[in-house]
Structure 1
């Protein structure tokens, strides 16, 4: 399910270390490292503020327990970077697990059937309810995993559960059959204040809104977001239990991982001993200056600069109509609380 693009607050980031020598380091110039096409990306080490190659990035990530790559769903550069990174990490350590927001946990068996050769690609796409952009975005990752017999974990919460929580509220979980409820996290709505504030700001444009001012509908929508983040966190942990000594490469929409919030923060709360590295996309146009990157360095341990996608609409009425049609296709879930 494609994620909305949210406007995020500019967060002040301390760029200069306290040591005297850091004060005379030259300011990095990113003008020569901007992506040239929609397939290109430029990886930046947020700590050194220097561009690094995909090979150097993989070498630096090779010892991490979990590598999280945020994406803008459907952006060619995000998906090409993910595929190249998986290949490089595999070359350094073939014990890899791919965990993906893009498949829901109730479709794990359909995904496994395809990986084991029991079904064809179109059958898998139908049975696993693959996203519309599967062939152009995620096919190379799944095919790499299939060819090298890597586990792929469907990490997201069931779509109907997410939708019904958004409509009927968190008590909807009490109405689920035991076998379905047992697949979900014991603490499905664990959160952090920073993530809550970020989410409210993204939806309402008002940062720091008090809890009492949040409408019931807004709270339900937030709980639906949390069931996804908590499910992904617990599915990553489950993957590590099933495949000890494996490295996890987790793919998710950037809102779930940037600034180490969302799924990342909830994973860390559950397993603080894990080493987790986050790569986050930054939309970067030719008009932006190097200094503009400084405000974005807190988004991840590594950033990857990518070109903005073409604007979908300029006619606001057509945009509203298209969005209504897009979301109406997902409105067929029957929630017990509404019946």
Structure 2
């Protein structure tokens, strides 16, 4: 079926999958068949969008039917909590204990529980792929040289090259953060630099963790879940993987919000975002009152203001 004859998503759980190269609508079953021999399948998500999370769970199961040698890699857990995650997978702790010990995201039960439970039930490795949150925050405040002050054990857990990037990703990040201000002003560019380096630390750490998992489990396929900014247009984590291991086959799935019937489905305009696109309904706006939104954002940031960068 061609994209122009696409069925519309009718609920917040629905996703319509399109092969970006051919424009064909495909099912999850067909998607898994096409990805069966791919080394790393990266599923970009809009955090908290149930259509993203439902698609990830269905794809995990469908890929497993083709290749049960599967690794689940997750941005949503930090590498310093790998032991807590492993303890849960081994049946040594309960779910609430794991959520507390591994500092799981607030939406874990609704969004990521199915992925982890499938892996646990089938005894599949789960990789806590992200960089430690406190280290990311300190790099965001003080820049990449902060890593030089880390104890040897903490530094050794991070990639030797922790800040690989590409010009396209840098431009995209600056545009997303600075918007119309750009980064031409020296002061603005300086404020953005450490924030960008924190982003790079996340991407490089996730790439490193994926490569380590593949080395430890030859012949396995990695399913990596991440926010779409880290993977769309084959930038971020994907670009680092391609720089460090060009021999790997990597497929990128990217979400696109679509509001039918007000607009035709924008396949051509979004084809560059991934090898496969999945179209989902937009989430409702979080705020309509700008002042309440600013206040909420300040509260979010203040929760981490007590992090000490020693």
- Regarding TM over 0.5, the answer is yes
Bigger mean CA offset, 212-221 vs 71-80:
212-221
Give 4+ residue runs of structure 1 displaced > 6 Å after superposition: none
In 2, distance between residues paired with 1:172 and 1:281? 34
Structure 1 partner of 2:154: 180
Asked if the contact 2:228/2:255 (under 8 Å) is kept, the reply is: yes
SS of equivalent to 2:193:
helix
SS of equivalent to 2:4:
coil
**Alignment partner of 1:154 out of 105, 122, 128:** 128
In 1, distance between residues paired with 2:89 and 2:128? 12
Asked if the contact 1:200/1:207 (under 8 Å) is kept, the reply is: no
After superposition, the Cα gap between the structure-2 partners of 1:144 and 1:95, relative to the gap in structure 1 and judged at 3 Å, is: same
**Alignment partner of 1:275 out of 239, 249, 257:** 249
Instruction: Give 1:217 shift.
Output: 1.8
In 2, distance between residues paired with 1:109 and 1:82? 24
CA deviation string 1:45-85 (max 9, x = no partner): 00111110111000000000000000001110000000000
Are 1:312 and 2:277 counterparts?
Answer: no
Asked if the contact 1:197/1:207 (under 8 Å) is kept, the reply is: no
Structure 1 partner of 2:137: 163
Instruction: Give 1:160 shift.
Output: 0.3
In 2, distance between residues paired with 1:187 and 1:92? 34
After superposition, the Cα gap between the structure-2 partners of 1:27 and 1:138, relative to the gap in structure 1 and judged at 3 Å, is: closer
Are 1:297 and 2:271 counterparts?
Answer: yes
Asked if the contact 2:17/2:279 (under 8 Å) is kept, the reply is: yes
Are 1:88 and 2:53 counterparts?
Answer: no
Backbone CA RMSD of aligned residues: 1.6
Asked if the contact 2:23/2:267 (under 8 Å) is kept, the reply is: no
In 2, distance between residues paired with 1:60 and 1:27? 17
SS of equivalent to 1:205:
helix
Instruction: Give 1:149 shift.
Output: 0.3
SS of equivalent to 1:153:
strand
SS of equivalent to 1:290:
coil
SS of equivalent to 1:64:
coil
In 1, distance between residues paired with 2:99 and 2:151? 26
* Alignment gaps of 5+ in structure 2: none
**Alignment partner of 1:70 out of 39, 44, 52:** 44
Asked if the contact 2:2/2:24 (under 8 Å) is kept, the reply is: no
After superposition, the Cα gap between the structure-2 partners of 1:211 and 1:186, relative to the gap in structure 1 and judged at 3 Å, is: farther
Structure 2 partner of 1:29: 4
Instruction: Give 1:33 shift.
Output: 1.6
Structure 1 partner of 2:74: 100
Instruction: Give 1:323 shift.
Output: 1.0
Structure 2 partner of 1:144: 118
Instruction: Give 1:216 shift.
Output: 2.0
Bigger mean CA offset, 207-216 vs 50-59:
207-216
* Alignment gaps of 5+ in structure 1: 1-25
Asked if the contact 1:66/1:275 (under 8 Å) is kept, the reply is: yes
- Aligned residue pairs total 310
Asked if the contact 1:34/1:284 (under 8 Å) is kept, the reply is: no
Asked if the contact 2:162/2:201 (under 8 Å) is kept, the reply is: yes
Structure 2 partner of 1:255: 229
CA deviation string 1:72-110 (max 9, x = no partner): 011100000000000000011100000000000000000
SS of equivalent to 1:94:
coil
Instruction: Give 1:289 shift.
Output: 3.1
After superposition, the Cα gap between the structure-2 partners of 1:288 and 1:303, relative to the gap in structure 1 and judged at 3 Å, is: farther
CA deviation string 1:94-151 (max 9, x = no partner): 0000000000000000000000000000000000000000000000000000000000
**Alignment partner of 1:240 out of 204, 214, 235:** 214
After superposition, the Cα gap between the structure-2 partners of 1:285 and 1:148, relative to the gap in structure 1 and judged at 3 Å, is: same
After superposition, the Cα gap between the structure-2 partners of 1:216 and 1:41, relative to the gap in structure 1 and judged at 3 Å, is: same
Asked if the contact 1:236/1:248 (under 8 Å) is kept, the reply is: yes
